[in-house]
Structure 1
């Protein structure tokens, strides 16, 4: 059903597109726009890597920024070809964390789970506000029941993420009461995760949430800049809502990287908000090119360059060793 919906969205995009008008819209974009959007996207990628760097240093007592950038970018490539909430990319990162930092599966899973929970709790919180905000603008096209169900789902997910972050030890202790009915592997992992979360002080938690907030807000900032250059002057909060709801829809496991789902959602929302079809399509495709396709291209280029450097310098042994870097 999901794949059929995506196919229908893609078919609608192709049938409705006036490619001549689309090309004219593209030609109106100023030369400085693409480099600016690329710089903002690069900042996004580096901030996420720094977040990983901080968590790895806290949990393992060691970290290495370039190794983590390599791990993160390799995961990004896999995310682009596997459907569903980026699970494939996280599996690759789990393997590489264990290999590069000689840590246990429990430690690597704890790092990934913390980063994912922090990032998703921020994303879902912004999405909740976005759903409430954009629902007022497209109320005629979105039933009250659908708004309530969407809001309830997002609230439930946010509470689940926050519970994993701040009540992991209590949950671990609660599970110990069910001897024999809870898999030992799950119980051990939750205990290791609770130990890892205990390493973060209040200042570390604030920093982690601040990084994730900046990362997610950089996406609507790119959207605002892109829209303004095409004469679309919707408010920041409306464009934030469009961007976040599109990302939330792209997380559903219909297609690799949310291809089709993301684009169809963004274009549909922009159209409902009064943006012309061709202008909306231009905004959607340019935004997606910078935040998705260019990220894949840059990730592949970095991975190839990094691994070629290791081979050229005979750096396999250096690749396996780690450089200590404690958090400030």
Structure 2
């Protein structure tokens, strides 16, 4: 990032109109709405109904914790499980199944799009060997994470036997068995419903494509005419590198990675940083601010209700 002329970066960002910012924010809101629809549909597939406002509440809570934890986003997933359990009355097994299924579907679709992007960029002759190594390492990390998640779900029946060998967990054997039975039943329903399964695959791909659309729109708005496929490839590879659990939300690594990946396609470092910062604002800071404001208002309203009851 030090290679970029920050005055030039500011000039590039300032060329973006308020109309463009509004359009990008609307695209991000559409993304949030689609994710909420996915949560509602997954819950419905296991026979549990949640309202849109509840899905939004959970999504904002999860997003807030995702934003303040390292980029693997485990904090957000735990927050979602606890929300479903404590606020909506899901059992721990049901909540874990819903969150696990959504995460796996999303990550598998992302892995597929990233693989396509990987082939395109590794053939780029102007890409440095260090950059190629970083891309490959990040892909292997992502692949291992996704495979571990899939293996846990596929071999969920062996988890009980594994837990039984851990001494301090034996006293919780009954609760663990109840959890695993509930988890297994929910996963079976979600996997066996082929129509809904395909719906979630298509929806997840659509959600990820929206991220590429935002990048392409930013490039277009700043006067760059790269192909959509290049914009999409840069987007997915940047997010892949940003998923390495280094800093909260992948801060710093995201911007630097996008600058490096845009350089081989003829985009200057200052323009690359400008694109990354704008995309980061829309997909991270805007959502983080939205979730913070929402949770802040929610806290104030709840406090006032508590005082009114005293």
Instruction: Give the TM-score range, shorter chain.
Output: 0.7 to 0.9
Task: Tell me, yes or no, if structure 1 residue 33 matches structure 2 residue 20.
Answer: yes
Aligned residue among 206, 216, 219 for 1:224 = 216
Task: Give the count of matched residue pairs.
Answer: 300
TM-score scaled by length of structure 2 = 0.85
1:20 CA displacement: 2.5
Aligned residue among 121, 138, 156 for 1:134 = 121
Query: Unaligned regions of 5+ residues in structure 2, if any?
Result: none
- Going from structure 1 to structure 2, the CA distance change for 1:297 and 1:172 (only over 3 Å counts) comes to closer
Aligned residue among 185, 197, 217 for 1:205 = 197
1:154 CA displacement: 5.2
1:309 CA displacement: 4.6
- SS in structure 1 of the partner of residue 18 of structure 2: coil
**Which residue in the other structure is 2:273 paired with?**
281
1: CA distance between counterparts of 2:126 and 2:229?
A: 16
Aligned residue among 245, 249, 256 for 1:257 = 249
Any conservation in 1 of the 2:157–2:184 contact (CA below 8 Å)? no
- SS in structure 2 of the partner of residue 275 of structure 1: coil
**Which residue in the other structure is 1:121 paired with?**
108
- SS in structure 1 of the partner of residue 77 of structure 2: helix
**Which residue in the other structure is 1:194 paired with?**
184
2: CA distance between counterparts of 1:176 and 1:92?
A: 24
- SS in structure 1 of the partner of residue 206 of structure 2: helix
- Going from structure 1 to structure 2, the CA distance change for 1:252 and 1:153 (only over 3 Å counts) comes to closer
- SS in structure 2 of the partner of residue 225 of structure 1: helix
- Going from structure 1 to structure 2, the CA distance change for 1:81 and 1:155 (only over 3 Å counts) comes to closer
Query: Unaligned regions of 5+ residues in structure 1, if any?
Result: 1-12, 318-328
Comparing 257-266 with 267-276, which one deviates more in the overlay? Answer: 267-276
1:190 CA displacement: 4.4
**Which residue in the other structure is 1:72 paired with?**
59
**Which residue in the other structure is 1:109 paired with?**
96
Any conservation in 1 of the 2:139–2:240 contact (CA below 8 Å)? no
**Which residue in the other structure is 1:322 paired with?**
none
- SS in structure 1 of the partner of residue 87 of structure 2: helix
Any conservation in 2 of the 1:56–1:111 contact (CA below 8 Å)? yes
1:23 CA displacement: 2.4
2: CA distance between counterparts of 1:114 and 1:96?
A: 16
**Which residue in the other structure is 2:236 paired with?**
244
After superposition, residues 114-193 of structure 1 pair within 5 angstroms as: 114-138=101-125, 140-142=127-129, 158=146, 161=149, 168=154, 171-173=155-157, 180-181=164-165, 184=173, 189-193=179-183
Any conservation in 1 of the 2:126–2:264 contact (CA below 8 Å)? no
Comparing 137-146 with 289-298, which one deviates more in the overlay? Answer: 137-146
TM-score scaled by length of structure 1 = 0.81
Q: Deviations over 1:76-110 (max 9, x none)?
A: 11111111411111111121111111222111111
Q: Deviations over 1:218-250 (max 9, x none)?
A: 001111111112222222222111111111111
1:274 CA displacement: 1.7
**Which residue in the other structure is 2:262 paired with?**
270
2: CA distance between counterparts of 1:132 and 1:275?
A: 20
- Over aligned residue pairs, what C-alpha RMSD do you find? 2.9
